[in-house]
Every structure is written in C-alpha cells, then in structure tokens.
Amino acid sequence: MGRSVAKPHHERHRSEHIGWLRAAVLGANDGLISTSSLLVGVAAAAASPQTVLVTGVAALVAGALSMAAGEYVSVSSQADTEAADTAKERRELEELPEAELKELTHIYVQRGLDPALAHQVAVQLTAHDALGAHLRDELGIAGHAIARPVQAALSSAAAFAVGALPPLLLAWAWRGAGLQAALAVSTLLLLAVLGALAGWLGGASMVRGALRVATWGALALGATAAIGSLFGASLA
C-alpha cells in the first residue's frame, strides 16, 4: 500500500483581509464621529430641526464620496507602484535570470538558510514561479495583499454611510429638547463598540480599542458643541 498524502492545512490569518477591514472600520468611525459632531455643533447653535437634518444628510453624502475618492486615489497609487515593480521584475527575469537567481539566493541566506540550501530553494521556486517568488520574497507583494482600489473605495463609502446613519436617524426621529445629549451618548456608545470590534479584528485589546476611539470621539463632540454654542450666541 502506498503512503497516504496528508491534505494541506490552510490557516486563515487576519492579515488576509486587513485591507478592506481597515477601510471599513476607519470609514465607520469617521462617518459616526464626523456626522454626529457636525449635528451636535449645529444643534448647539440653536438651528432648526430641518436645518440639523439637512446638515446630516449633506454630511453623509459628502463624507461617503470623499472617503471613496480618497481611498481610491491612495490605493490606486499603491497599485500603480506594485504594477511598476512587477513589470520591472518580469523584465529583469527575462534579461538577467542568473543575477536574479543569485539575488533570490542571497535573500534566503539572509533569512537563515545555509548557502547551499538557499540556492536549492531559489532554483526550485524559480522553476515553479520565478516572478511570484521575487514579488513575494524580494518586494513583499503577496496575492492577498495586492492593492484593490475599487474594493477599498466602495468599502470606505459604504462604511462611512453606515457609521453616519445612526446620528442622522436619531436627529430625524428626535422630538423636543435634549438632542445634543442624545447624540453624544449614543455616539460614544457606538464608538466604543466599533473600537472594541477593531481591537478584536486586529487581535488587540478590545478595552483599549474602545477607550481610544471613544476618547477621541468625546473630544470631537465637545469641540463642535463649544464652537456651535459660541457662534450661535454671537449670531443670535
């Protein structure tokens, strides 16, 4: 009987999805903090409920589009750099294969392999996928980490809109006094949840993540409330 071949074991790591997770968490945080802070500032200036609501809608639309555009431009620049590096490596492999093999061997020696084994590994990986080996081991470009501008832009826009919706819906549904306090309390609670979620996704402390985000959110809310009260009083 032949020896059975064990099935390959694939471990899933957080870094495989860190690109779009980062964009989603940042987008939701930004949408929640910026929209709620803006609404608190406008409400503190004694604006009418209609003005507060229109301000919230404008903040959601403008913020989501701004996040999408910024993320698209940023990740597109990264993708352009990766494409240029890939073309350069492909050209060097065609023109200078021996030099590239020596370069790959040197990389593995630097990582702890003895020269003979490093050369053997470099030869085998070059025969299997020379370009992939150089992109991964020389430039650090792996398949799961390749820049995806459209995905990043859509994730950022959607996450910003999701984060901006709770304060906007609260401003729409709220009747009477106390809107500023309601916005502040609900925003800080949601920020704590998002911070804890970000910590959990990244394998860090959930408590530290919650406190960090909530602290900065409280500073933003306090600053806009103070500015709104100041300008509301001066314009009254």
Q: Average the pLDDT over each of 26-30, 187-191, 202-206, 210-214 and give the range with the smallest value.
A: 202-206
Which helix (H) or strand (E) segment holds residue 19: the answer is helix 18-44
Distance in angstroms (rounded) separating the CA atoms of residues 182 and 226:
16
Closest CA to 74 of 131, 111, 23: 23
| pLDDT computed for residue 215 by the predictor | 93
> pLDDT (tens digit, 9 = 90+) per residue, 150-181?
888 888 899 999 999 999 999 999 988 889 99
| pLDDT computed for residue 1 by the predictor | 43
Domain membership flag for residue 112: no
Percent helix, strand and coil across the chain, each to the nearest 5: 85, 0, 15
Average pLDDT over residues 133-145: 72
Mean pLDDT value across the chain: 83
- Beta-carbon contacts of residue 159 (< 8 Å; ≥ 6 apart): 23, 24, 25, 26, 27, 28, 31, 67
Domain membership flag for residue 105: no
Domain membership flag for residue 74: yes
Total structural domains in the chain? 1
Domain membership flag for residue 115: no
CA atoms within 13 A on the CB side of 85: 17
| pLDDT computed for residue 79 by the predictor | 80
Domain, as residue range, for 43: 17-93+141-235
Domain membership flag for residue 81: yes
Residue 143 has pLDDT above 70, yes or no: no
Provide the percentage of residues in the chain whose pLDDT is more than 70: 86
The 10 Å CB-count burial string (b at 16+, else e) for 112-133 is ebeeeebbebbeebbeeebeeb
| Residue 59 pLDDT grade (very low, low, confident, very high; cuts 50, 70, 90) | very high
> pLDDT (tens digit, 9 = 90+) per residue, 78-128?
888 878 878 887 888 888 888 888 888 898 888 888 888 888 888 888 888
Residue 214 has pLDDT above 70, yes or no: yes
Residue 4 has pLDDT above 60, yes or no: no
Closest CA to 170 of 158, 159, 183: 183
> pLDDT (tens digit, 9 = 90+) per residue, 36-54?
999 999 999 988 889 999 9
Domain membership flag for residue 101: no
Domain membership flag for residue 72: yes
pTM of the model: 0.70
Domain membership flag for residue 21: yes
Residue 9 has pLDDT above 50, yes or no: no
